[in-house]
Amino acid sequence: MPLTIPFDTTYLSLPDRFYSEVAAAPASAPQLIAFNRDLATELGLDIADMSDADAANIFSGNDVPSNAVPFAQVYAGHQFGGFSPRLGDGRAMHLGEIDGPAGRVDIQLKGSGPTPYSRNGDGRAWVGPVLREYLMSCAMQALDIPTTKALAAVLTGDPVLREQGRLPGAVLTRVAASHIRVGTFQYFAAQRDVEALHLLTDYTIQRHYPDATDPLQLFEMVMQKQATLVAKWMSVGFIHGVMNTDNVQIAGETIDYGPCAFMDVYHPDTVFSSIDRQGRYAYSNQGPITHWNLAQLATSLVQILPDTDKAIADFTAILDRFPALFEDEWAKAFAPKLGLAPSDETTLLAKDLLALMAEKGADFTNTFSTLDETQTLYPDWHARWRAAAPDDALWQKTNPQIIPRTHKIEQAIQAATHGDFDPFHEMLDAVKSPFTPNAAYAQPPKEAEKVHQTFCGT
């Protein structure tokens, strides 16, 4: 039975210059890889009678629900520091918004074909990045870190051409609080389209920050969300990889899982993305880069305030608080990992442990999940930690045992490329239970299994 999705798409009430209506490219043989029934239920979708074939048709874009008006959003963004005035959904299409029991969300197909914003790309995705995003976003959710969510993954039956050759095409269905990015504001700011900036600001306040009474308050709330989010990433060893301003979501969810990774061996300078040659988005640079990205949002918002000099002074005063705010969020995220309350001494203990881990090349996740074993490796640190009287139950329940390790993701993708989805499903089960012991997924990679870079692979 075809699924009726009760779309109620408010973004379409914004002027035409915010988006383009689009159609999905047909998929020749859609086949369901995964469908997140829990999420569908959470969203209030009526899936009881939906077959896998129905799901494959809908979530490949073949069978667009009759009440959907598919569209692609326009945005701009600083990519590795350089400004691109016009990006936009180049390989994604919004089916629409639903206002369900879990609140208002966007439902978007990623990899469903070209849009007016595709520039040189084909608008398609291959199965690798689709499965990576599926695994990563499910893991984030299980770790209680704000993230966009994967609703479905579907093979299209059509190969896509990438550097590695012909690869199976796939579509990911993504659910997000919204897809408004710092880059959405930058798009209109770059054109000095003050009217659109006003509309976007009002829309964002209404949808995400109803308590904000002006752009400065909105900005302050976005800054708080970003500081919390990035501190949480760091507390699980996550490296986003492409923190361009178009990949910074205003609602504060992790978005656009490209060449991202959870670190195995801890080192603050770790970079995974093959295109990040300067280490701009290295693990330990994620706080400072968030500050920089927020400055770009502030620069855009200045335009809608009447007194420019005052606006610049006011935004600057808020932005200047970011480093202290981030330190604070970092301390709050790391303290329970040690089983301690946040304090200057706890922060020092955490930083000293990380320095020792970097020196020894320790595994990030496993060091924290077996903190009581640090006695053999770092006896002096262990004695200081014990003297601080940590709560063992607290650090044990805070530190995950299972994260989606890069080599396991690569193995699952390799198998999927050859039609075997068992490793993907097995891994999905493992990352959904990060606090359950699971030897096969807790092991760091063997030398031959190590993956040193992840590629955009779009």
Active-site positions? 246
Compare residues 248 and 349 and give the one whose CB is closer to ligand AMP.
248
Could you give the CA distance from residue 289 to residue 267 in angstroms, rounded to a whole number?
18
Compare residues 124 and 332 and give the one whose CB is closer to ligand AMP.
124
124 binds, among Mg ion, ligand AMP, none (CB under 5 to 8 A by kind): ligand AMP
CB of 246 to ligand AMP, least distance (A): 6
Q: Is 458 in the site for ligand AMP (CB under 6 A)?
A: yes
Compare residues 65 and 90 and give the one whose CB is closer to ligand AMP.
90
Could you give the CA distance from residue 364 to residue 435 in angstroms, rounded to a whole number?
15
CB of 238 to Mg ion, least distance (A): 17
CB 177 within 8 A of CB 251: yes
Stretch that binds ligand AMP, among 17-25, 89-97, 225-233, 416-424 (CB under 6 A): 89-97
Angle between helices 182-190 and 194-208 (to 10 degrees): 160
Number of residues that bind Mg ion (CB under 5 A): 2
Compare residues 273 and 398 and give the one whose CB is closer to ligand AMP.
273
Q: Is 61 in the site for ligand AMP (CB under 6 A)?
A: no
Residue 91 assigned as binding residue: yes
How many angstroms separate the first and last alpha carbons of the chain? 33
Q: Contacting ligand AMP (CB under 6 A), which of 31, 118, 274, 366?
A: 118
Stretch that binds ligand AMP, among 1-9, 88-96, 342-350, 410-418 (CB under 6 A): 88-96
Q: Contacting Mg ion (CB under 5 A), which of 89, 256, 264, 329?
A: 256
Q: Contacting ligand AMP (CB under 6 A), which of 246, 253, 276, 314?
A: 246
Could you give the CA distance from residue 135 to residue 155 in angstroms, rounded to a whole number?
16
Cα dihedral angle (87, 91, 95, 101), rounded to 10 degrees?
Answer: -80
Q: Is 116 in the site for ligand AMP (CB under 6 A)?
A: no
CB of 259 to Mg ion, least distance (A): 12
Compare residues 17 and 360 and give the one whose CB is closer to ligand AMP.
17
Q: Is 89 in the site for ligand AMP (CB under 6 A)?
A: yes
Residue 132 assigned as binding residue: no
Amino acid at 289: I
Q: Is 293 in the site for Mg ion (CB under 5 A)?
A: no
Q: Is 247 in the site for ligand AMP (CB under 6 A)?
A: yes
Compare residues 247 and 296 and give the one whose CB is closer to Mg ion.
247
Q: Contacting Mg ion (CB under 5 A), which of 247, 346, 369, 374?
A: 247
Angle between helices 127-142 and 422-431 (to 10 degrees): 20
CB of 148 to ligand AMP, least distance (A): 12
Stretch that binds ligand AMP, among 35-43, 49-57, 87-95, 367-375 (CB under 6 A): 87-95
Angle between helices 308-319 and 286-302 (to 10 degrees): 160
Stretch that binds ligand AMP, among 115-123, 326-334, 370-378, 384-392 (CB under 6 A): 115-123
Q: Contacting ligand AMP (CB under 6 A), which of 44, 90, 157, 268?
A: 90
Compare residues 88 and 339 and give the one whose CB is closer to Mg ion.
88
**Could you identify the residue written with the tokens 């499903």?**
425
273 binds, among ligand AMP, Mg ion, none (CB under 5 to 8 A by kind): none
| Sign of the dihedral defined by the CA atoms of residues 164, 155, 20, 138, in that order | negative
Number of residues that bind ligand AMP (CB under 6 A): 18
CB of 247 to ligand AMP, least distance (A): 5
Q: Is 89 in the site for Mg ion (CB under 5 A)?
A: no
Structure tokens given for 185: 């504001």
Residue nearest to ligand AMP (CB): 121
Compare residues 256 and 264 and give the one whose CB is closer to ligand AMP.
256
Provide the annotated binding site for Mg(2+): 247, 256
Q: Which residues bind ligand AMP (CB under 6 A)?
A: 87-91, 117-118, 121-124, 242, 246-247, 256, 258, 456, 458
Q: Which residues bind Mg ion (CB under 5 A)?
A: 247, 256
